[in-house]
Amino acid sequence: MAIKVILVDDELGIRKLLRTIIERKEGFEIVGESDNLSDTVALFTKTKAEVIFMDIEIHGSSGLECAKIIADMEPKTKIIFATAHSEYMSAAFEVYAFDYLVKPFQLERVNQTLDRIRALTVSNSREPLDRIIKFERGLEKLLVKGKESMSFVNIHDIILIQRENSSTVIYTTKDSYTTSVSLSDIESKLDTEQFMRSHKSYLINISQIKKIEPYGRWTYIVTFHDIGKDALMTADKLEELKRRFL
């Protein structure tokens, strides 16, 4: 299945240039174009694109603000800032951009980014639920309430907690649970010796880590034992993790 791409730039000529480059690359499909924040979010919601090429400055808003909104909806969206403004690179780091391309583009540089995306892209799907979470102290359980049921989740079985589709999802070896409670609220109830906030959108069980590999320009991908899910980790969190094991 082709990797879906959205182009966001208020210059039609730049979108045409990127379209030409990307359409020559096997395995990618342009599913839409936009020049403003609201249309981009609507387009992303509709298409669930895996990749977004975005300018820093778009009509009526900032590409950085747009990236923050999309990252909260789906943290693994690969956002590549394509801009003439090199001075925003540090700000792009703060929203965990996958890459940062400075205009005028060099064909080889864009192709390198596309090759890396194609090698890394993994499709995942999950049915959303609507549940509420509560922590039971002393029981080492998270109590997840449904409309007509309750589930007691053993904290030591939790492998990964992430932001997904503007909700928070708890993954264990066998099940997943969705809640509107923030990652920060859940993080405050977990043992920091066992769980790490590896990225603004991920809480991970350190004991369940299988491998850590490079992902974006400033991020790494974490894989786990027992489940086919993964998480993102920032460079500074990787250094923190290394210090724990020294």
Residue pLDDT, tens place only, 159-203:
999 988 778 889 998 888 888 778 888 888 788 888 999 998 999
Last residue of a domain, one of 120, 148, 183: 120
- Any alpha helices (H) in 74-225, and if so which ranges? 89-94, 107-120, 183-187
Residue pLDDT, tens place only, 53-85:
999 888 888 888 998 899 888 888 999 988 887
CA 165 to chain centre: 10
Same domain as 101, residue 203:
no
Q: What is the pTM of this model?
A: 0.59
Same domain as 51, residue 24:
yes
Same domain as 169, residue 111:
no
Structural domain including 63 reads: 3-120
Order across the sheet with 78-83: list the strands: 28-34, 3-8, 51-54, 78-83, 99-102
Same domain as 151, residue 82:
no
Same domain as 7, residue 95:
yes
Same domain as 104, residue 49:
yes
Last residue of a domain, one of 90, 120, 150: 120
CATH of the domain at 202: 2.40.50.1020
Per-residue DSSP letter, 63: H
Q: Which of 40, 24, 125 is nearest to 79 (CA)?
A: 40
Specify the pLDDT at position 122.
46
Same domain as 110, residue 144:
no
Residue 30 belongs to a domain: yes
Cβ neighbours of residue 162 closer than 8 Å, sequence gap 6 or more: 75, 168, 169, 171, 183, 201, 202, 203, 231
Contact yes or no for 29/76 (Cβ under 8 A): no
Residue 127 belongs to a domain: no
Count of domains observed in the chain = 2
Residue 194 belongs to a domain: yes
Q: How far apart are the first and last CA of the chain?
A: 42
CATH of the domain at 41: 3.40.50.2300
Specify the pLDDT at position 156.
84
Same domain as 161, residue 116:
no
